[in-house]
Amino acid sequence: MEVPILLPKVFNYPFTYIHNSQKIKNLNQGDIVIVPFGNKKEIGVVWDKIKKTEKKIKLKNIEKKITNISLDKRIIKFVNWFSTYNIVPKGMILKMCLGNLKNFDGAKKKKTFKNKLTKTKYILNNEQKKALNNLASSGNKFNVSVLQGVTGSGKTMVYFERIKRLVKENKQALILIPEIFLTTQFKNRFKLFFGYEPAIWHSKISISKKREIWLSVAKNKIQIVLGARSSLFLPFKNLGLIVVDEEHDSSYKQEESVIYNARDMAVSRASIEDIPIHLVTSIPSLETYNNIKNKKYKKTELKNRFQNFPLPQTKVINLNLENLNKKSISDETIKIVETYLKNKNQILFFLNRRGYAPFLICKKCGYRHVCPNCSIYLTYHKILNKIICHHCGYQSISKKKCKDKNLLCDFSFYGPGVEKVFEELKSIFPNKTVKIFSSDYLRKKKQSEILIKEISEEKIDILVGTQMISKGFNFPKLNCIVVVDADFTGKGFDLRTTEKNIQLYNQLSGRAGRFSSDSIIIYQTINPNNEVLKNIIENKTENFFTNELRIRKQNNLPPYFRFISLIISSNTKENSYQGALEIKKKIEHINHIEILGPVDSPILKKKKMFRTRLLIRSESKNLCQKPLVKVLEKLKISTKIKLTVDVDPINFT
């Protein structure tokens, strides 16, 4: 009997093999098998349909079936849908579903996920109980509910209670979080609530741990998984609920290798599984807001903080009126911070720029360091004493012979980064413990765990952090936040800049005053009258969303129109542009689409490759991916160029 077998490789179709029923009995869709492929043996999965071909090929036999483990038909349907929507080969998605595991021999039995711990009993307040009942009232079939609540309102406890009820029915739950850095503190909250550790899934866990979790999830021996984007592809046996925490977060968009938005694909998987999904946020994404407005999603709201602590006061400091004299922190800010430090509070200085300075300019010849692989300037990291590219990782020393008199360049530093602010704070507050909270300093899991523990135990007085600290952390003594440079402008290539700013600063302010009635967030800015800042301070995000949707509709932008970005890259600018022109000619006959470009990408060169963009626009009701795939599959693309497809792009760099 002929059987379709999908391999976890760059193929968009299954290969046909022969099933010898005497050798292997009861072979069904979703079964995992070993098959010959070339000179090797490969793992594959019995798929749903045979790929028809006119070629006469000698079919090979399936060699072995992996017993006691298989993929559900619903995950096969999900892979097929994911492939069509995101224009990604099915084999690449299957590779993610198999967790990149090379064998399924099982793992050593460990009592990892059900170690009994001391449970803390949480009592929901009336508003939380009402929210919980609203979520539960939608039933256990597919529906999308948005749990929206001010920061510190106890949204996590509400959906924990929702999950607890489902687990009692022997169902599984997946909690998606946007950053792996959040897992440590989140895991501790989970342990206190459920009395055991969650299974944690992300790219940094070991292969042996992945195998253990994968097999346990497939056999319904693990009921709750806490994970980053890739956990969406785990082979749940009895999935009952998906929760997407911080649903607005742009980190859910994977922009390397397989490009997709985990939040949107979570909604798709919930639909295919016919289970509810909860999107959790303090300020929703514009797409989610629009779906609420159109009654596609149901909204449940928490309007007050858990113990009715007020939101932080706001203070705007106009930097145009300050004589900073090469400093980053104003005198007025320092006075306020001193008051909070005297009262044993922790302080956060927020600046979304890594390193010491984003620009080094020679005072004599005007030279600026540019990455040899990417068309961007290099950032100086003082602690490493190196200039670094934040796109490709290129590093070098900053010394250079000057054009002026052949001496070394004399560089000035422009635009402060977290390291410069850290240096200033060490000078201003020499007797205080100051630490940096940035991905450069928290590359290893233990580093982040140690720092988070030190903050929680009040061993750190002042933190200097980038955007990653705005997400979901809960530090009881953090009551003063200083935004060093409240910048509300974009760089011209991201139509979501304003939306992201509102979400970022709202999240950030929510880190302060979670257990105090006296907290403050200070905005240092050269744009004190900016409309976005006013909306944030006055908590009038509804005004922004209403206005933004009107503008988007007028200009044929998402969510009313769909974008698909085609990035054509090559080692020469000419080949990149010419390749884009040729692809445009091939796809422009597709009905109901508009093709914009080709144009150079704002970051023209990245990782030694020159990049040209085409942008396909169509009405949201049209799924133009199907006709586009048919054309792209027939394309004979030159080996000199690489084509990358980004469906629903969130930036245009």
Return the domain boundaries, the chain.
Answer: 2-97, 126-302, 313-356+416-548, 561-647
The closest alpha carbon to 114, from 229, 233, 216, belongs to: 216
**Maximum CA extent, the chain:** 86
What is the rounded distance in angstroms from the CA atom of residue 199 to the CA atom of residue 180?
Answer: 13
- Kindly state the average pLDDT of the residues 333-343: 95
Whether 126-302 shares its CATH topology with 313-356+416-548 is answered: yes
β-partners of residue 568 are: 612, 643
Q: What is the pLDDT of residue 444?
A: 60
Question: Which comes out higher in pLDDT, residue 415 or 387?
Answer: 387
pLDDT class of 245 with cuts at 50, 70, 90: very high
pLDDT class of 398 with cuts at 50, 70, 90: confident
Three-point CA angle 168, 174, 178, nearest 5°: 145
DSSP class of 207: H
Of 178-182, 330-334, 454-458, which one has max mean pLDDT?
A: 330-334
What is the rounded distance in angstroms from the CA atom of residue 262 to the CA atom of residue 240?
Answer: 18
The closest alpha carbon to 47, from 62, 67, 68, 37, belongs to: 62
pLDDT per position as a tens digit, 177-225: 988 766 777 888 898 899 888 899 988 888 889 999 999 999 999 999 9
pLDDT class of 441 with cuts at 50, 70, 90: low
What is the rounded distance in angstroms from the CA atom of residue 170 to the CA atom of residue 156?
Answer: 21
**In contact, 642 and 566? CB cutoff 8 Å:** no
Helical spans, DSSP H, in 392-521 = 418-428, 445-456, 497-509
Q: Compute CA 440 distance to the chain's CA centroid, rounded to the nearest angstrom.
A: 18
The helix (H) or strand (E) run that includes residue 95 is: helix 90-97
CATH number of 126-302: 3.40.50.300
**In contact, 290 and 128? CB cutoff 8 Å:** no
The closest alpha carbon to 114, from 33, 223, 192, 220, belongs to: 223
**In contact, 420 and 324? CB cutoff 8 Å:** no
Three-state SS at 437 = strand
Looking up tokens 């000619």 gives 585
Three-state secondary structure along 216-282? HHHCCCCCEEEECHHHHHCCCCCEEEEEEECCCCHHHEECCCCCEEHHHHHHHHHHHHCCEEEEEEC
Phi-psi region of 366 (alpha: psi -120 to 50; beta: other; left: phi over 0): left
- Kindly state the average pLDDT of the residues 641-650: 93
Three-state SS at 64 = strand
Q: What is the pLDDT of residue 298?
A: 97
Instruction: Name every residue whose Cβ is closer than 8 Å to that of residue 502 and which is 6 or more positions away in sequence.
Output: 283, 532, 535, 536, 541, 544
2-97 placed in CATH 3.30.2310.20: no
Architecture of the domain spanning 561-647? 2-Layer Sandwich (3.30)
pLDDT class of 168 with cuts at 50, 70, 90: very high
**In contact, 6 and 47? CB cutoff 8 Å:** yes
Looking up tokens 């068309």 gives 375
pLDDT per position as a tens digit, 375-384: 888 888 887 8
Percent of the chain with pLDDT strictly greater than 90: 55
Q: What is the pLDDT of residue 340?
A: 94
The closest alpha carbon to 82, from 291, 262, 234, belongs to: 262
Percent of the chain with pLDDT strictly greater than 70: 94
Strands 2-6 and 15-18: antiparallel
- Kindly state the average pLDDT of the residues 401-430: 86
Q: What is the pLDDT of residue 570?
A: 95
CATH number of 313-356+416-548: 3.40.50.300
| 516, pLDDT greater than 90 | no
What is the rounded distance in angstroms from the CA atom of residue 65 to the CA atom of residue 26?
Answer: 10
pLDDT per position as a tens digit, 444-454: 656 777 887 88
